[in-house]
Amino acid sequence: MGNTCVGSRTSTSNGGTRGSSSYWWCRGHKKDSSHAHKGGKKNAKAIDAIQDKPPEVMKIESDEVRPPHQAMETKPAPDQTRAAQPQKPKRPPNVRKPASAGLKADSVLLRKTGHLKDSYNLGPKLGQGQFGTTFLCVEKATGKEYACKSILKRKLVTEEDVEDVRREIQIMHHLAGSPNVISIKEAFEDAVSVHVVMELCAGGELFDRIVERGHYTERKAAKLARTIVGVIESCHSLGVMHRDLKPENFLFVNQQEEAPLKAIDFGLSAFFKPGLSKTFTVN
């Protein structure tokens, strides 16, 4: 084999010698001096203009780059900033802030009570109202079942709401012993809720039983109406107006057909005296 080194292969053209194509390919883009002279001064300047040094490293003094329209903005003087802020109106002297209700109220029942869970075990939820939730509860000492209505104090946003809870418990104690009115056992209060333990009526609402039956005989309807009117007469004789009588607020004691019917939910009830149109509270 012949020599394969760069420049070893030559060819003749018109009696002269010139380097092979392999020689030009191996040398890259570097041209000989004779070719540079043929190109004239323009080629020489182009070679001199080629940058053979890396660009200089630019240092960024701050990581925050501001847009051009923000670069010329200037901060206002401290005095100007203070003058631009509106001044808060001063509170007039000798004005007390009204006391808030709910969780910040000192007490709803206005007396100290024990803890509900010391005497009762809470069970599943039985119903839901606007202010409270009713749970099944079992007395630890006897094992007897009761209903516990727990009223969240955070929902008592006004003093009127707090007064309504006090009056409801007071009226239930006042009506104790009425045969067709639900009886209260005791009440508790803690930092979160007021708990009212009362008689359990497991027979459901009168409304649900009416829907389930579809219709009543005249005799059966008259018996239910007599019971409702008797509740009204009993409350009025004791100076109490229920003010929320409806089928949803009457419960049967049990699931039997002839179970006793009792009135519940005295949250809107009020004391009254004959001849007076304005209700009032009895201490």
Q: Measured between alpha carbons, how far is 174 from 176 in angstroms, rounded to an integer?
A: 6
> What distance lies between CA 42 and its chain's CA centroid?
79
Q: Which of 146, 150, 116 is nearest to 133 (CA)?
A: 150
| CA distances in angstroms from 179 to 49, 170, 171, 183, listed in the order given | 114, 18, 15, 9
Q: Measured between alpha carbons, how far is 209 from 254 in angstroms, rounded to an integer?
A: 12
Tokens 């631009």 correspond to 84
Catalytic, 48? Answer no
Torsion of CA 112, 118, 124, 125, to 10 degrees: 0
Which residues are annotated as catalytic? Answer: 244
